[in-house]
């Protein structure tokens, strides 16, 4: 049985989707959770919302220091927040490229730095970042997003090596399709689109034949970030219904 009793966690992107499901699950399992998001998280006992623009590093560091004052210590960091701004290479826009890198890659890496020293000093910590199958498999108009997810998997490995002897385990979870608002592109839910039905369902590219619910990703995160995980570090666990298993 997983227990988060006595543990404090930061969950970025916890106002919606996968982050919200993760924050709620960790609280059900006994944690106190600080949500970092530019939107207010749903109010609930043991979930405290910190309004943070993750593209602003100073704001990230200030929020971490505020959580230390509010909760005393931070045992767990879950990096979930992300943006996906479609851009073909030929039309690549420097502003959206920079924004994608800032939120999806720079913020999670620096949050690892901001919480990692104290975790190492205390001899215990768990970090889990949400990447994507896009770290290893690409599609057009996704270059900035794909770079950030591949970079975050690399950062996960490096941080895991540096923190291993301090009792801090660092991992990532790579989802495929998840039913959140990120799946809604130009007002169309891609998991309801003909494109998705033809390629992923009828052609059986998606072996489990459905998109995931956020809680299915949250459960994997919750195991990796718990003290039940004692020997997995530096890894990315793919939770994609089997998409990446098929040739």
Ligand X SMILES: NC(=O)c1ccc[n+]([C@@H]2O[C@H](COP(=O)([O-])OP(=O)(O)OC[C@H]3O[C@@H](n4cnc5c(N)ncnc54)[C@H](O)[C@@H]3O)[C@@H](O)[C@H]2O)c1
The footprint of ligand X (CB under 6 A) covers 13, 15-19, 37-39, 52-55, 80-84, 103, 130, 132, 175, 177-178, 180-183
What's the min distance (Å) between Cβ of 120 and ligand X? Answer: 25
* Adjacent-strand bridge partners of 28: none
What's the min distance (Å) between Cβ of 91 and ligand X? Answer: 21
What's the min distance (Å) between Cβ of 13 and ligand X? Answer: 3
Q: Which is nearer to ligand X, 38 or 157 (CB)?
A: 38
Q: Which is nearer to ligand X, 59 or 120 (CB)?
A: 59
What's the N-to-C CA distance of the chain in angstroms?
A: 36
What's the min distance (Å) between Cβ of 167 and ligand X? Answer: 26
What's the min distance (Å) between Cβ of 8 and ligand X? Answer: 19
Q: How many CB atoms lie within 10 A of CB 61?
A: 14
Q: Which is nearer to ligand X, 166 or 235 (CB)?
A: 235
Q: Which is nearer to ligand X, 106 or 126 (CB)?
A: 106
Answer for the pair 103, 55: CB distance below 8 angstroms, yes or no: yes
93 vs 91: CA distance, rounded Å: 6
Answer for the pair 128, 218: CB distance below 8 angstroms, yes or no: no
Q: Where are the beta strands (DSSP E) in the chain?
A: 8-12, 32-37, 47-51, 76-79, 125-130, 168-175, 184-185, 188-189, 236-239
Q: Which is nearer to ligand X, 130 or 168 (CB)?
A: 130
Q: Which is nearer to ligand X, 121 or 148 (CB)?
A: 148
Answer for the pair 246, 205: CB distance below 8 angstroms, yes or no: yes
What's the min distance (Å) between Cβ of 79 and ligand X? Answer: 8
Contacts of residue 35, defined as CB under 8 A and 6 or more positions apart, other chains included, come to 10, 11, 12, 14, 15, 19, 23, 41, 47, 48, 49, 50
């Amino acid at each position: 049985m997983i227990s988060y009793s006595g543990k404090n966690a930061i969950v970025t992107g916890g106002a919606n989707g996968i982050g919200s499901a993760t924050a709620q699950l960790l609280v059900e399992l006994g944690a106190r959770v600080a949500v970092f998001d530019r939107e207010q998280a749903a109010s609930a006992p043991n979930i405290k919302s910190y309004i943070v623009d993750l593209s602003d590093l100073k704001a990230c560091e200030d929020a971490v220091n505020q959580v230390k004052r509010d909760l005393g210590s931070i045992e767990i960091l879950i990096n979930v927040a992300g943006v996906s701004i479609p851009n073909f290479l030929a039309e690549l826009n420097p502003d959206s490229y920079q924004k994608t890198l800032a939120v999806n890659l720079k913020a999670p890496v620096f949050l690892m730095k901001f919480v990692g020293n104290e975790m190492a000093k205390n001899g215990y910590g768990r970090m889990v970042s949400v990447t994507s199958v896009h770290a290893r498999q690409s599609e057009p108009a996704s270059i900035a997003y794909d770079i950030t997810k591949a970079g975050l998997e690399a950062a996960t490995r490096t941080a895991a090596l540096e923190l291993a002897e301090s009792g801090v385990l660092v991992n990532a979870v790579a989802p495929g399709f998840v039913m959140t608002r990120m799946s809604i592109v130009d007002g169309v839910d891609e998991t309801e689109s003909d494109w998705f039905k033809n390629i992923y369902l009828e052609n059986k590219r998606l072996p489990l034949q459905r998109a995931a619910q956020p809680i299915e990703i949250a459960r994997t995160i919750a195991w990796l970030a718990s003290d039940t995980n004692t020997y997995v570090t530096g890894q990315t666990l793919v939770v994609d219904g089997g998409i990446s298993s098929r040739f």
